[in-house]
Amino acid sequence: MQNRKIKWAVSVTVLLVLLAGSILFAMMVGEIRFSLNELIEVFSKKSGIEYTILTRIRLPRIMLGVAVGGALSLAGVLLQGIYRNPLVEPYTLGISGGASLAVAITIVFGLNLSIGGYVLPAAGFIGSVATVFIVYLLSMGRYSININKMLLIGVMVSFIASSAMMFLMSTTTNENLQSIIFWVMGSLSETDTLLIKIVFFVSVAGLLASYLFANSLNALRLGVSEAGHLGINTGLAIRILFIIASLMTGVSVAVAGVIGFVGLVIPHLTRMIVGSDFRILLITSFLGGSIFVVLCDIVARMIIAPNELPIGVITGMIGGLVFIAVLGRSNATK
């Protein structure tokens, strides 16, 4: 028991150091590069164009990456714990499809131009929440939620939403089409401090709230009926965990667009490293997701600089390659 706690402490410490290093590296690189000494000097002076670049552009972008990466990875862990399936991710339930469809409708009808402001993030969040509500209602049985039915309905709703969005994209103007595609591919270019604070607060609050159900998630690994025999109120736990995962995913998608593979790859990797105990898996997945998104954003900014690639392209390519490599190595060792 003592050795396990030491291992957990070491794992969390290493991830915190890696996260701090990733944040520092992200602050230093870009179209204007800074050395460590220059970075310290700029923050000590608190004036000049360099300070504005760091505090108004890079730091908000990094904080959004930390929040979104942590939220998506944590949502993936929670949903995989609920369904007892390592291939489930936050977007499986149609959350990204609903958000993307709502944003596409907003852009096609010009509401983002006539209303402006927070209309696109609001549309994305409303679309994701509406999708979750529909999936939840359709999954309700007479006495409880059928989680397998919920998963299938989520997949079907995702296909329907994606098809509807494709229809809108095929009938709209080229300008609207570019706006929709750019949003769907994901970006951390949002600079509104209020939206970034909301995402950060929701992600941290979701992490803290999920720890209230760490023992329930461990019990659910045995199965719903077995967890019930251990005294776990499985119906209540599944409902609350589902809401937490959905809110974190909905807020992340609403502000940053669709950033794929984070909620699938990172929980899988952390589970291989620290084990399946949710008491350590929750925090390590959150930190791992934050590191992954921050590093992928650096690649997205630098690979064709001064232009920028959508971060969803980078997370999809890197995440997919890493996932295939890990699965191949796992099969080779069996």
Task: Tell me the three state secondary structure of residue 275.
Answer: coil
d(CA 87, CA 71): 17
Task: Tell me the three state secondary structure of residue 307.
Answer: coil
| CB contact at 8 A, 289 and 69 | yes
Report phi then psi at 122, rounded to 5: -65, -45
What pLDDT is stored for residue 1 in this prediction?
63
Query: In what helix (H) or strand (E) does residue 78 lie, and over which residues does it extend?
Result: helix 59-83
CA-CA-CA-CA dihedral for 306, 199, 135, 89, to nearest 10:
60
C-alpha distance from residue 155 to each of 77, 86, 213 (Å): 18, 16, 26
Give me the tens of pLDDT residue by residue for the chain, a chain 334 residues long. Answer: 677 888 889 999 999 999 999 999 999 988 888 888 888 888 888 878 888 888 888 999 999 999 999 999 999 999 998 888 877 888 877 888 888 888 888 888 887 666 666 888 888 888 888 888 888 888 776 656 677 788 888 888 888 988 998 898 888 888 888 888 888 888 888 888 889 999 999 999 999 999 999 999 999 888 878 888 888 888 888 889 988 988 898 899 888 888 888 988 899 889 888 988 999 999 999 999 999 999 999 998 888 877 788 898 888 888 888 778 777 665 555 5
d(CA 88, CA 82): 10
Model confidence, pTM: 0.90
What pLDDT is stored for residue 254 in this prediction?
86
Q: Tokens in use for 172?
A: 């709209």
d(CA 120, CA 172): 17
Angle, nearest 10°, between helix axes 59-83 and 262-274?
70
d(CA 64, CA 189): 9
C-alpha distance from residue 163 to each of 96, 168, 181 (Å): 13, 9, 14
Contacts of 59 (CB under 8 A, 6+ apart): 27
d(CA 269, CA 263): 11
Domains of the chain as residue ranges with CATH = 2-333 (1.10.3470.10)
| CB contact at 8 A, 288 and 20 | no
